């Protein structure tokens, strides 16, 4: 029987085992095909995937694990430059923020605002779990969505891919609109588009017929489909055969059950008019009686003035924290004002959200009006000249910080 080992021998053996495990873990990491990190972000669980790429929950390494979402896309995706160009300019409490753009050899990664329910609480999944929503909840959710789309239209842009899957809900069931891959700018009310995009069961008749269309009006049609789905728990025109779905959209009117209040049916009939010119504007939708309870809040958000950059208390606190950590504040300011979507901007926005969250406990139910201070701050963080003076950037521009006015 061997003699008992001394404490020093036991510790030495444990150290060898620990070192061997470290070598094993390192070898696994080098040989693994799974990414562990991208830029300043540690990848967490996969929360979505599709033809576009993958979506991961991630954490920012430099701000004590501030949560974000990373969405990958191929560098060959021709919609990406336009998506980045428009999304980085959208500053609204019901639109998921774009923080940073990372470019690797084959992929482009968009760093997006994290919603606690993301991946689970797309409005599509929410409806699958809960079925038709109570009318009061529909009014609140739909009015927030209309407010977000009204904001996009106010920037002379149209979304063109409004659907339940592109609408997220945070843990307080506030709307966050996302996915701007088909967003397109337009010039005035007389401007028409002709590219088919989006999903058939949300598509307006004029788009399905291959006609030139007004972008605002196809967004309004999609809003009508979404409002119907929230109240019915299903889409009004949705068949296994796409051709049957198209025929129904072109020839039929939506069928209503007794869950639909009269004022909701009136609004849906306007939104789903086969004649685009009959469909209301976003301002007219917000003025409809069905949305009267929550519309004033959304109209107030649209009128928030844009303060001078880096003047709000939240911005000052965030910059001071970065300065204390040794960050060159002048470079941070230059990055944000030039819209570079680079690591400095990503760090600033992640840290801003942490500072804001420390002021409002996460378990506190806040009405949307309490988003205004943060919205004002973020307006300051991203001050833009007239977007008409911007050129459409290349993906590399966004990474290298070379996105400037023409």
Distance from C-alpha of 362 to C-alpha of 260, rounded to nearest angstrom: 34
Q: What CA–CA distance (Å, rounded) separates 287 from 82?
A: 32
Task: Check whether 179 is labelled as a binding-site residue.
Answer: yes
Enter the tokens of residue 375.
């919205």
User: Which residue in 77, 121, 136, 161 is the catalytic one?
Assistant: 161
Give the separation between CA 134 and CA 264, rounded to whole angstroms.
13
Burial of 49 (0-12, 13-18, 19+ CB in 10 A): exposed
**Residue 54 in marked binding region:** no
- Please indicate if the annotation marks 166 as binding a ligand: yes
CA atoms within 13 A on the CB side of 75: 12
Is 121 part of the annotated catalytic residue set? Answer: no
Distances (CA, A) of 103 to 34, 135, 300, 377, 402: 17, 44, 37, 28, 14
How many helices (H) and strands (E) the chain has is answered by 15, 10
CB 245 within 8 A of CB 237: yes
∠ CA 242-131-178, nearest 5°, is: 65
**Which positions ≥6 away from 396 have C-beta within 8 Å?**
103, 402
Nearest C-alpha neighbor of 205 from the set 242, 173, 246, 151: 246
Question: Known catalytic residues?
Answer: 161
- Residue numbering of the annotated binding site for ATP: 67, 71, 165-166, 179
- Residue numbering of the annotated binding site: 67, 71, 165-166, 179
């Amino acid at each position: 029987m061997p003699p008992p080992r001394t404490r020093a021998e036991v510790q030495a053996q444990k150290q060898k085992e620990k070192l061997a495990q470290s070598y094993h873990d390192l070898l696994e990491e080098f040989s693994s095909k799974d990414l562990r990190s991208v830029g300043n972000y540690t990848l967490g669980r996969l929360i979505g995937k599709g033809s576009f790429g993958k979506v991961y929950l991630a954490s920012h390494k430099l701000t004590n694990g501030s949560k974000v979402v990373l969405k990958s896309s191929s560098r060959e995706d021709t919609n990406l430059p336009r998506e980045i160009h428009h999304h980085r300019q959208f500053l609204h409490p019901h639109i998921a923020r774009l923080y940073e753009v990372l470019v690797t050899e084959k992929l482009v990664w968009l760093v997006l605002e994290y919603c606690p329910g993301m991946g689970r609480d797309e409005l599509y999944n929410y409806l699958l779990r809960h079925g038709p929503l109570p009318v009061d909840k529909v009014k609140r959710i739909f009015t927030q969505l209309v407010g977000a789309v009204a904001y996009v239209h106010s920037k002379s842009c149209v979304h063109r891919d409004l659907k339940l899957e592109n609408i997220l809900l945070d843990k307080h069931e506030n709307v966050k609109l996302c996915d701007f891959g088909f967003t397109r700018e337009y010039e005035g009310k007389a401007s028409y588009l002709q590219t088919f995009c989006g999903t058939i069961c949300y598509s307006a008749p004029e788009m399905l017929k291959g006609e030139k269309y007004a972008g605002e009006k196809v967004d309004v049609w999609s809003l009508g489909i979404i409002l119907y789905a929230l109240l019915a728990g299903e889409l009004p025109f949705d068949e296994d055969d796409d051709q049957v779905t198209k025929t129904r959209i072109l020839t039929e009117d939506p069928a209503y059950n007794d869950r639909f209040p009269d004022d909701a049916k009136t609004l849906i009939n306007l939104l789903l008019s086969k004649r685009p010119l009959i469909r209301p504007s976003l301002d007219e939708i917000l003025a409809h009686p069905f949305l009267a309870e929550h519309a004033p809040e959304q109209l107030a958000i649209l009128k928030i003035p844009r303060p001078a950059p880096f003047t709000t208390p939240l911005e000052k606190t965030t910059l001071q924290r970065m300065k204390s950590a040794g960050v060159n504040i002048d470079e941070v300011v230059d990055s944000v004002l030039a819209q570079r979507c680079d690591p400095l901007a990503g760090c600033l926005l992640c840290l801003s959200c942490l500072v804001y969250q420390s002021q409002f406990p996460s378990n506190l139910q806040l009405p949307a009006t309490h988003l205004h201070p943060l919205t004002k701050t973020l307006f300051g963080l991203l001050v833009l000249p007239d977007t008409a003076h911007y050129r459409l950037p290349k993906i590399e521009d966004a990474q290298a910080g070379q996105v400037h006015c023409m």
